[in-house]
Amino acid sequence: MRIDILTLFPKLCEGALAESMMKRAQEKGLATLRVHNIRDWATGKHLVADDTPYGGGQGMVMKCEPIFAAVESLRTPESRVVLMTPAGRPFRQEIAAGYSQAPHLILLCGHYEGIDQRVIDHLVDEELSIGDYVLTNGAIAALVVTDAVVRLLPGVLGDEASAAEDSFSQGLLEYPHYTRPLTFREWTVPDVLLSGHHAAIAQWRRQKALEKTQKNRPDLLG
């Protein structure tokens, strides 16, 4: 799949895309991840991408023209254009899974006070928020979405089972994990994990996942 991130701060994204899983996915030819500076589509002597709001008020508003030009130059009939904004639909694992089936995402990053409403009305397919807090910059949110989507592409994770066992993928948070040493300070690994009894281990893990979900995310249990 291909993901294009459109932002006024491309440098913020470049490092993240060049490391770890997102780097590997690109090296394996499983994903094409590109970052573009919206200002490259701005015109005029000063390449202005924002302006003061009609009606007055604080802050600046991102202008229509460079954003329309950028998206129109990158999109194909298969593209989904997603605006990163705290006013969007909440991002969730199911949305990541849906996006991982899409051939092309264009993640448009807001900045300043906002973006001209005509972008939302006539260019964007959906608005997406990564949580109920306000970042200074949608680029960080776009990276979160890109990472969550790319790791679900078949072949990206070494162990195919690990995405299926993720927190959320079965409606529960993940069970606890342990590795060597058996005793660290005075804390030892639960006996059941050393028992070799697969059914007992599976039952213990499910119980722990339920307890963790009850404690941290009771809303998931309905």
**Residues at the contact surface with ligand ADE, assessed by CB under 6 A:** 84-86, 110, 129-131, 133-135, 138, 141
The C-alpha atoms of residue 218 and residue 63 are separated, in whole angstroms, by: 42
Catalytic residue among 113, 127, 174, 211: 113
Q: How far is the CB of 131 from ligand ADE (least distance, A)?
A: 5
78 is catalytic: no
Query: CB 124 → ligand ADE: shortest distance, Å?
Result: 13
Q: Which of 10, 66, 151, 205 is catalytic?
A: 151
For ligand ADE, give the closer residue by CB, 28 or 89.
89
User: Closest Cα partner for 85 from 55, 117, 59, 47?
Assistant: 117
Which residue among the candidates 24, 53, 80, 86 is catalytic per the annotation? Answer: 86
113 given a catalytic annotation: yes
Distance from the Cα of residue 53 to its chain's centroid: 29
CA angle 176, 159, 209 (to 5 degrees): 20
**Angle at Cα 68 formed by Cα 62 and Cα 72, nearest 5°?**
150
Q: Is 121 annotated as catalytic?
A: no
Active centre residues (catalytic): 86, 113, 151, 166
